[in-house]
Amino acid sequence: MVQQGRIDIRIATRKSELALWQARHVAEKLAALPQTGVISLVPLSTRGDEILDKSLQKIGGKGLFIKELEIAMQTGTADIAVHSMKDVPAVMPDGFCIAAVLERANPADAFVSANKVAFADLPLGAKIGSSSLRRQSQLLAVRPDLVISPLRGNVNTRLQKLEDGLYDAIILASAGLERLGLDAHITSEFSADVMQPAAAQGVIGIECREDQQELRHILSALEHSISGQTTAAERRVAAVLNANCQSPVASYAITDGEHLTIDALVASADGSTVIRKQRAGLATDAETLGELAANDLLEAGAGELLIAESA
């Protein structure tokens, strides 16, 4: 709706505490723009949130977290959707686009343990909660003795399961814990050398329909250019590898002035094989660098490894 030259914007969001925090964060930034009117939230339940007794691989991957939000945009009950970009499939569905990404928060994975036990001090065969094959493969590459057990639910649910003694430790994204004021739970953070993050981990993205040119122009004011470049490079790796959010694939890009360096890896689920490649060049060539890194991985056997892991 347009009122007095200003555009009202309805934000589709999941109902989890973290998703609502992200949507409100975007709403505050949109409300500060001169072109916007009333900013409101449209909280929705997604299949990914509702089905907690099965792994994401078995029910369709993390794309299930955004399908209902896209339907809301298609039917006109919402104008935009706010996502954790690590949950967004590398290839957008026809008719939709990411109109802007905000400045990246902490991209690291957090190690959260019972009684603050250090990772190196975990007992032999310790039980670690994580449903991510990316995390599992990298954990087992360092500590093949660990037992990785599925962990689903929102951030507070996962922390409660740790508190209840179901795990010796769990792995969560540091950004989510920090956004919810729960970073005191972090025992330590993994360096990218040990635990390479998911593509665009820590980045909030704003999705809308491609045909909404005026809205896309308004949203572009929120784009953080450096985060846009690193996000483009990392997501390109996943796209070329045809990887989904649950594949044992990771990519992490950093910029230094006009230059960008991207690291990317593919691993076996048991951590016994890790293929890692790096590319560097101009940040303006971010997507090309991501593609080159992905092709380097394929030449080193990543394609066969991914096929074997998906069988």
The DSSP letter of residue 141 is H
Residue 308: left (phi > 0), alpha (psi -120 to 50), or beta?
alpha
* Close Cβ partners of 306 (under 8 Å, ≥ 6 residues apart): 241, 242, 243, 247, 248, 249, 266
- Write the secondary structure of 191-229 as one string of H (helix), E (strand) and C (coil): CCCCCCCCCCCCCEEEEEECCCHHHHHHHHHHCCHHHHH
Tokens of 181: 């004021």
- Please indicate whether residue 121 is annotated as part of the active site: no
3-state secondary structure of 85: helix
* Close Cβ partners of 249 (under 8 Å, ≥ 6 residues apart): 134, 199, 237, 238, 241, 243, 264, 265, 266, 306
The Cα angle at residue 108 between residues 158 and 51, in degrees rounded to 5: 30
3-state secondary structure of 157: helix
Residues shown for the chain: 311
For residue 15, give Cα distances in angstroms to 24, 54, 130: 12, 20, 21
3-state secondary structure of 300: coil
Tokens of 70: 């896209």
Catalytic residue, candidates 8, 49, 79, 87 = 87
Q: Which residues of 86-99 are buried (b: 16+ CB within 10 A; e: fewer)?
A: bbbbbebeeebbbb
Strand partners, 149: 129
Please list the active-site residues. Answer: 87
